[in-house]
Structure formats: C-alpha cells, structure tokens
Structure 1
Amino acid sequence: MKFFMVVNGKKAKQYMVVVFAAFFAASLAFMGQEQLSVFSSKDGPRAIYKGEAKGNKVALTFDISWGDKRALPILDILKKQGIKNCTFFVSAAWAERHPEIVERIVKDGHELASLGYQYKDYTDWKDPQIRRDILTAQEKIKKVSGKTTSLIRPPNGSFDKRVLEVSEGTHHSVVHWSIDTKDWKNPGVNKIVSNATNHVKPGDILLLHASDSVKQTHKALPEIIGKLKSEGFSFVSVGEMIANTQAHSQEVH
C-alpha cells in the first residue's frame, strides 16, 4: 500500500487536491461531529474513511492480496482477544487460491470486503474495465465464501470520481481509512503500535495488512488491541460502523 490518491495521478492538479484532502481530514480531528466522514463527488457517490465519533468504536481492517503465512496467525490473535468483527478486504484472485483462509475469516465472524480481482490501479483503467473487475471479484468471493460483498477498497487505496461512480453502479461503497499503521513498511513493532494508537479517535478506520509482505503486524497486533481496549475503545466492522449514519462529504474531482 503506497499512498492515497483522490484523483488520477496523471492530472496536474493531483497535488492540490491531495493537500486539500489532507487538510480536510486533519480538520475533522478537531471537530466533535457525529457524522460519517467521506470524500464524494458533488451530489454523487462517496468514499468513506471515518465513522461516527460517538460510541468510542473503531474498525480494524486488514488488506490481503497474496500469501498464506500471515493471515492465520492474525486470525488466531483476534480469536484469542475475543474480537469477531474486523473487516478483511481480500483480493478475489487471492481468495480463489486460499479458500480455506476465507472460510476461516467468515467462520470467526469477521466481515468480508473486496480489494478487486486483479489488484491493479483503477485510476489507470477505463470505466468498463473497472466495472468488470469489481463484479468479477464479487462473483469469485461469493463462490468461495457464500458472501456477497458490498464494500470495496480500490487497490492501493487509489480512486477518483470515476472510480466512485463505477463502484456505486455496482452497488459497492468505497472504503478508505483514517489511520494508516504503515505496517506494510515493516518499520518495527513499536512504530506500528504507535502509528495505530497515538492519534486514534472514535470512529476511526485503521488500515492493517495480513499479506505475507508484512513481517511484524502479528507481533504488534496484541499490543494494539490491548492499548485500544485500555483506552475504552471497542471494535466494530466497517459495515456496522457505517450503518444508519449520515454523511458529511467533501467533493472529489
């Protein structure tokens, strides 16, 4: 996972929009709002990155696109900690290769969501390609798990107005994140823990990974969970977090 783009990287105004988006996201930390925080096109579809501020709830999300060595230890830790409602965003191509892990995710009570099928940057694709990939992913994940996805995190967290519109047309809500643990950088257990917990607020959506590329997430996870619990946070899935909430939006071009 590299970085967050709200517009196509080929457009010159990308940097202005990203800077404004970062300022907007930071400003929400100082607002005691009880609305869903989203990026959206004007009067159009939206990308969710934060839930309601009330209730002291946060959502742990895990992206998986390859490998079979890290996911099971992470699931074991979550089970030991009594957490049954994380959201796992899975690549459908990965899910086809590892149906037993997908079944375990569902069996343990977690929510399944989509990372697409081919795990390619949607902003580089034409609309029909994006639509085909989203629907193919939905079909493959359902075949493996029996679950129909309604949430999607575009590969690499990269999206623009077109991606939002196409996703909405396939009945998927785009989900980003408000806290990036940067565990994919393997910066050390202590750094992952501090990234996850130092600035967390009610309603935050935390980005973690369960692919084999992460070497330290399973070691950091017990401390992350313990610290968040000690600060009074409880855990919900993204689906639970965004149910029956109002949206506060900022336009994406």
Structure 2
Amino acid sequence: MNFYWIVSAKKIKQLMLIILVAFFTASLVFVERNQISVFSTTDGPQAFYKAEIDKKQIALTFNISWGEEQLLPILDVLDEKGIEQANFFVSASWAERYPDLVEEIHKRGHSIGSHGYRYKDYVTWEQDKVRSDLNKSTQVLEELTGERPTLLRPPNGSFNKEVLSISDRAGYSTIHWSVNSNDYQNPGVEAIVNSVVPNTEPGDVILFHASDSVKQTHQALPIIIDQLRDAGFSFTTIEELMASTETQTEEI
C-alpha cells in the first residue's frame, strides 16, 4: 500500500510538470499570435488590447489621420449593418481640418478617442514633447465634441513605459488591438476579410483605418460584419470590453 502511494506521488509530480510546460508554451503562442512580445501584468503602466471573456463580444476600431473621402462610406456601412457604436481614434490635427466629419462621427453615436495631435511616433519623442502633443489633442477634441476623450491610441500604435505613464497621468487609457485587418496595405477585399474573420475571438479589439489611403475597408467591412454575426459575435465598444469581468493588459 505504501509503495502504491509513492508511485502515485511521482506520477502526480510528472503530470504537474507536463501541465506547467504546456501552460508556458501556450502563453508564448498567445503572445506571438498578438505580435506583442511583452508579459501580461496587473501592475505598472498598462495597455488594453482585448478582454478575456467567454461572451462573443468584440469591438470595431478605426484610426484616421488624413483625408475626407473614406470616412463617410465607412460610417454608412456601420449604419446599414446596425453597428450603433464603434471606436474612432482621430488625429486632432485632422479633426481641426475636418470638424464637420468629427461632428458626424459623434452625431452617429460612435466613441471618439485621441490619436495624438501630430501623427508622429511618440516613442521617438522626448517626454515633454509627448505631453505637449497629447495635451493639445485633448484640448482640440474636447472643444469639437464637448466631451473629454479618455482613450488614447498613440500614433502607429507605438508606445513604451514612458508613453504609458504620460497617458495615465493625463487621464487616458492606452488602447492597442488584438486583430489587425491590415487594410492599410490595400491587399484586396478578400485578404482583409481573411485577416479578420478566422482570427477573431471573444473580447477582441479589431483594427481598421478610415484615412483616404485605405481604399477597400468600406467594401470588406460589410462582409466581415455579416460573417462575424453568422459566427455568433456581437459588437460593442472598447469601454464595454474594459468593463468586463476580466481584461488582458500588457506592460512594456
């Protein structure tokens, strides 16, 4: 009988070791899938990129920094498909040039977040310059919408610890993404659809663009929405995902 318990204990230890190795391997695969080579943490500067939830809810997000032709077709698709709320991250210098389009986004019920003022990589700037750019963006967007933005997607989606800290002190949550449509490459409608639909999971934040350089998003978007709905997904906002019971954050 004693021998039986000794053997069982050894087997349990071996099994636990196998489980730990498998868990570590799965964690590496998960990080690689999202192309963010950092470690999850609940402490320190953080960036939100998806919610770890079972419910099949996802958020559509759009970056815009120049041009006036592609936004309205995208807004029309969202209306036609009954997407009442999406997240738009706008460069404030663009917003100053096209205040009527900012008003249109706001009027249709979508959330407006900051994409900085000038479209320059924050990581390459001195901290004072980042603060100045972010403060100017806040002022412009608040004047145009009547609401202070609370979500920041830095230009190029690029950030480090310093940028995260500056964003946090300015009252922003830094937002990344977990699924990239690659629409900025204009690879064709089918390629954009295939970049999104097979790779979408519950809680994902999907990245699109609405600048004039992106020519195929308004064509791919209705197909993506229909296919994701057929797969059981519903559409919400980043704010709602962040309010979910458990979120995935990243520390740089």
With the shorter chain as reference, the TM-score category is: 0.7 to 0.9
- 1:249 to 1:48, Cα distance in 2 relative to 1, 3 A: closer
Identity %: 47
Aligned length in residues: 223
Match for residue 206 of structure 1?
206
Q: For 1:79, what is the secondary structure of its paired residue?
A: helix
Q: Higher Cα Rg: structure 1 or 2?
A: 2
Match for residue 31 of structure 2?
25
Please, what TM-score do these two structures have when normalized by structure 1? 0.83
- 1:244 to 1:191, Cα distance in 2 relative to 1, 3 A: closer
Question: 2-side partners of 1:187 and 1:89: how far apart?
Answer: 22
- 1:27 to 1:74, Cα distance in 2 relative to 1, 3 A: closer
CA RMSD of aligned residues (A): 2.0
Matches for 1:175-194 after TM superposition, within 5 Å: 175-194=175-194
Q: For 1:50, what is the secondary structure of its paired residue?
A: strand
Q: What is the CA-CA distance between 1:246 and the residue it aligns to?
A: 3.9
Match for residue 226 of structure 1?
226
Residue 65 of structure 2 aligns with an amino acid whose one-letter code is S
Match for residue 79 of structure 1?
79
Match for residue 149 of structure 2?
149
Please, what TM-score do these two structures have when normalized by structure 2? 0.83
- 1:139 to 1:187, Cα distance in 2 relative to 1, 3 A: same
Structure with bigger helix share is 2
Question: 2-side partners of 1:130 and 1:116: how far apart?
Answer: 9
Q: What is the CA-CA distance between 1:26 and the residue it aligns to?
A: 4.1
Q: What is the CA-CA distance between 1:190 and the residue it aligns to?
A: 0.2
Point out where structure 2 has 5 or more consecutive residues left out of the alignment: 1-26
Question: 2-side partners of 1:221 and 1:51: how far apart?
Answer: 22
Cα distance per residue 1:175-227 (max 9 Å; x no partner): 00000000000000000011011111000000000000001001101101000
Cα distance per residue 1:82-126 (max 9 Å; x no partner): 111100000001111111111111111111101000111000111
Residue 73 of structure 1 aligns with an amino acid whose one-letter code is P
- 1:188 to 1:45, Cα distance in 2 relative to 1, 3 A: same
> Is this contact kept in 2: 1:49–1:205, CA < 8 A?
yes
Point out where structure 1 has 5 or more consecutive residues left out of the alignment: 1-20, 29-37
Residue 207 of structure 2 aligns with an amino acid whose one-letter code is L
Matches for 1:13-92 after TM superposition, within 5 Å: 23-26=29-32, 43-92=43-92
- 1:92 to 1:22, Cα distance in 2 relative to 1, 3 A: farther
Q: For 2:199, what is the secondary structure of its paired residue?
A: coil
> Is this contact kept in 2: 1:39–1:48, CA < 8 A?
no
